[in-house]
Amino acid sequence: MPGLVLDRRHLISVAGVVFGTALAWGGLALFWPEPMAGNDSAADRLAVAAGLLVWPALPLVLMVLAVALARFATAAFDPLNDPESRFQRRAQRALSNTVEQTAVFVPAMLSAAALADPADVRFAGVMTGLFCVSRLLFWVAYLIHPYLRAPGMIMTLNVNVAIVGYALYRALG
């Protein structure tokens, strides 16, 4: 079996992992607010988290609009038969991935908020902000070149793993 050879693509991905991780955890450290008062019940914490979920919907709406406008501008209405531009293919793949990542983030956020210690619900705003920034970073970088999407993808993965991990910790604790 031949040895692992790291080419330019691998090095870009590794750099993206390091950069995305630094962005996610640096953002957590920088923007983590002080403990909040008045979130004593699970319903209060769920209300906070649910109110924040409009923000992850915003990148999705922007991506859907971008794909729709690109289809309109190029008259590529039939996704199975009409030729699509490179922009359209990349925008669609970024949209699909964002739908998948949002499907992890939303239930994890609601679960974590319901199970959180009342003072810890402050994580909801930070995680939501980082999730949105990571998705926009992923999208813009993907449109420039697929190799550049790694920081946004890893940043999203870090946020999702952290929030799922917190929810599991609280559920098992």
At residue 5 the predicted structure's pLDDT band, cuts being 50, 70 and 90, is low
CA gyration radius, the chain: 19
Residue 125 lies in a domain: yes
DSSP assignment of 76-115: ---TTTS---HHHHHHHHHHHHHHHHHHHHHHHHHHHHHH
Residue 1 has pLDDT above 70, yes or no: no
Q: What is the pTM of this model?
A: 0.83
Mean pLDDT of 68-82: 82
Question: In one letter, which amino acid is 103?
Answer: A
Token pair belonging to 105: 């983030």
CATH number at residue 166: 1.20.120.550
Residue 86, Ramachandran bin (φ over 0: left; ψ between -120 and 50: alpha; else beta) = alpha
- What pLDDT does 33 receive? 65
CA 74 to chain CA centroid, Å, is: 29
Residue 1 lies in a domain: no
pLDDT in tens, 96-147: 999 999 999 999 999 999 998 887 787 888 889 889 999 999 999 999 998 8
Residue 37 lies in a domain: yes
Mean pLDDT of 32-41: 68
Residue 2 lies in a domain: no
Mean pLDDT of 48-56: 93
Residue 4 has pLDDT above 70, yes or no: no
How many domains does the chain contain in total?
A: 1
Residue 3 lies in a domain: no
Query: Among 5-9, 44-48, 93-97, 124-128, where is mean pLDDT lowest?
Result: 5-9
Token pair belonging to 144: 């420039």
- Range of 45's domain? 8-172
Residue 82 lies in a domain: yes
Residue 151 has pLDDT above 90, yes or no: no
Buried b / exposed e along 69-104 (16+ C-beta atoms within 10 A): ebbeeeeeeeeeeeebeeebebbbebbebbeebbeb
Residue 3 has pLDDT above 80, yes or no: no
